[in-house]
Amino acid sequence: MLPITAFIALLLSGCSDNKAQAQRKIQGIVYCAEANPVSFNPQVTTTGSTIDIIANQLYNTLISIDPLTAEFRPELATGWEISEDGKQITFTLRKDVTFHNTDYFTPTRTMTADDVVFSFNRLFDVYNPFHFVGDANYPYFQSVGMDQLIRQIVKVDDYTVRFELFSSESSFLSNIATDFAVILSQEYAMQLVAQERKQDFDMLPVGTGPYKYKGFLRDNLIRYHKHPDYWKHDLAMDQLVYDITTNNTSRIAKMLTKECDITAHPSATQLETLAARKDIRVDKAVNLNVGYWAFNTEKPPFDNVLVRKALAHSIDFQKIMKAVFYGNGIQARSILPPSSWAFQTQAMPSYDPERAREFLAQAGYPDGFEMDLWAMPVSRIYNPNARKMAELIQSDLREIGIRATIVEYEWNTFLERVGRHEHDSVLLGWAADTPDPDNFFSPLLSCTATFSGKNPANWCNPEFDLLLTQALDTSDLQQRKQFYQQAQQMLIAELPVVPIAHGMRFQASNTSVMGIELRPFGGISLANARKN
């Protein structure tokens, strides 16, 4: 028995370590992330979890967007000038910006126009040695059509770069300010070419951000060290470590045991437990996103607007907000979230089974019909539980005589099949990458999106497309607003999609951590984060 008591005493004495830990000099922030990054270069992915981890910590962009005023801010470019016709944009670059000095690369020069030209050329220029490295797939820039827009990128002098466009487009600057438009080191790229290790380019990153890459152990951790010569400030901690914890509950538990300083995406049901603790702060951020129900408008009976109206009137939005969002979301009043500058409240279809039945009868389906309802298998900000939402809608539809079958596939298969328009109707959503309203319309509902398999409503309306083009062609904000408001009205009148809700983005952090920037669009920035 004695040894057991002795051992317990020993264990208990271990607890006095708590004090030592509080005083420890080792500095750093531990962030519990929900997934492994798929790459270390934001150019080649749009995966939200990956962007959160890599974009703002390792890299800088030419310009950024102020999350409050939505104005452009200088970053690596100190200024920019747009020519009269809007086809030439000239950036003046910041001097003395140093790239990361890592185990695998020692920079000999600071950032110049060559790096900027190289970074963007990789995306568009088939002669760039890195264009075909990886899958030659640059999802964000390809989906917004930037490759069709840029004629060439010219180095004017060492610190001036000019983008020449085929036509002027008002969302160009917003796209240059996304997390995907990072500046990479040309010198590093050339070194890899010389060493014949081109494939390492996206996995061993070199950027200009506040932290530099140190190591990545799959399913385990990612370690960043401080970039000592960061051009902006000296706030960075010695280390930034990402603890990869895919299990939702484990992540919250680690937050409670203080193994994490910051935790990504706690689920709505866990918020109460977290909020009850004094040492944990729960941040809610309005995020530019929308969860919607899209109908395959090319398939009968969904090609009939009366049927779409009947379906829209049949669902009880209040119930969905309560059961799926737990009160942590806003009911949609348009496809645009209220924080967007082009937002205008629309007369949304209300819950009214009587009217729904009337519309059905008018459309020639007094006895209803059978349909598929696809529910996405993963939780997203704009729809934390699509399965549950689908079940609620299913029971609402039964009220008006429509028999809906819920269909689920593995996430990638799901997206692929939706892209091939195999569905009747689908619950999906969209989170914006820029505050520009076009980001909600063009990638989701334009005709080009239909061809590239992105338009889940399979809806191609030339009138609507014209509105979008007109909005992009002008840089007069008032005029753009008008075009977008017309577009929103048209969507509610035609209902290719029923906007359901805008979700909130949540994050839990230890109260000793300050300066976390949770952006309403794009990823999270820990560039200014520090721990007291």
Partner 1 sequence: MFADFLFRRLSLLLFMLFALTAFTFALNYLFPGDLLTNFSGELNANFSQTQILEQKYHIDDNLLIQYQAFLVRLFEGDWGLSLSSGQAVFGHVKQLFPATIELCVYALIMALCLGIPAGVIASAYHNKWPDKVISSLTLLGFSIPVFWLALLLIMIFCLSLGWFPMSGRIGLLYEIPPVTNFILLDIWLHDFPYGGQAFADALHHLTLPTVVLAMYPTTVLVRFTRDSMLTVLEQNYIKTARAKGLNRRQLILDHALRNALLPVIKQIGLQFSTLITLAMVTEVIFSWPGIGRWMIESIYQRDYPAIQGGLLAVSFFVIFANMLADVIHTLLDPLARNQAHGKV
Q: Which of 82, 193, 253, 323 binds partner 1 (CB under 8 A)?
A: 253
User: Cα–chain-centroid distance for residue 172?
Assistant: 18
Question: Which stretches within 352-429 are classed as H helix?
Answer: 353-363, 386-399, 411-419
Contact between 194 and partner 1 per CB under 8 A: no
Contact between 256 and partner 1 per CB under 8 A: yes
Q: Which of 83, 220, 269, 512 binds partner 1 (CB under 8 A)?
A: 220
Choose one: 64-72, 248-256, 411-419, 501-509; the region binding partner 1 (CB under 8 A). 248-256
Contact between 25 and partner 1 per CB under 8 A: yes
Q: Which of 34, 52, 187, 243 binds partner 1 (CB under 8 A)?
A: 243
Choose one: 78-86, 173-181, 220-228, 519-527; the region binding partner 1 (CB under 8 A). 220-228
Kindly tell me which of 25 and 233 has the beta carbon lying closer to partner 1: 25
Q: Are 509 and 516 contacting, i.e. CB atoms less than 8 angstroms apart? A: yes
Burial of 528 (0-12, 13-18, 19+ CB in 10 A): middle
Q: Which residues pair with 212 in a beta bridge?
A: 225
Contact between 283 and partner 1 per CB under 8 A: no
Residue showing tokens 């979890």: 49
- The tokens describing 89, both together, are 């944009």
Kindly tell me which of 214 and 355 has the beta carbon lying closer to partner 1: 214
Contact between 1 and partner 1 per CB under 8 A: yes
Contact between 217 and partner 1 per CB under 8 A: yes
Residues 394-423 touching partner 1, rule: CB under 8 A, are none
User: Which of 172, 208, 180, 148 lies closest to 72, judged by CA?
Assistant: 172
Backbone angles phi, psi at 513, to 5 degrees: -95, 130
Q: Are 377 and 431 contacting, i.e. CB atoms less than 8 angstroms apart? A: no
Contact between 493 and partner 1 per CB under 8 A: no
CA distances from 520 to 181, 323, 339, 435, 504 (A): 18, 24, 9, 8, 9
User: Cα–chain-centroid distance for residue 111?
Assistant: 27
The DSSP 8-state label assigned to residue 61 in this structure reads B
Contact between 126 and partner 1 per CB under 8 A: no
* Distance between CA atoms of residues 257 and 22, nearest Å: 14
Choose one: 187-195, 215-223, 366-374, 502-510; the region binding partner 1 (CB under 8 A). 215-223
Contact between 50 and partner 1 per CB under 8 A: no
Q: How far is the CB of 27 from partner 1 (least distance, A)?
A: 8
Give the residues lining the site for partner 1 (CB under 8 A).
1-4, 7, 11, 14-15, 17-18, 20-21, 24-28, 30, 214, 217-221, 223, 239, 241, 243, 245, 250, 253-254, 256-259
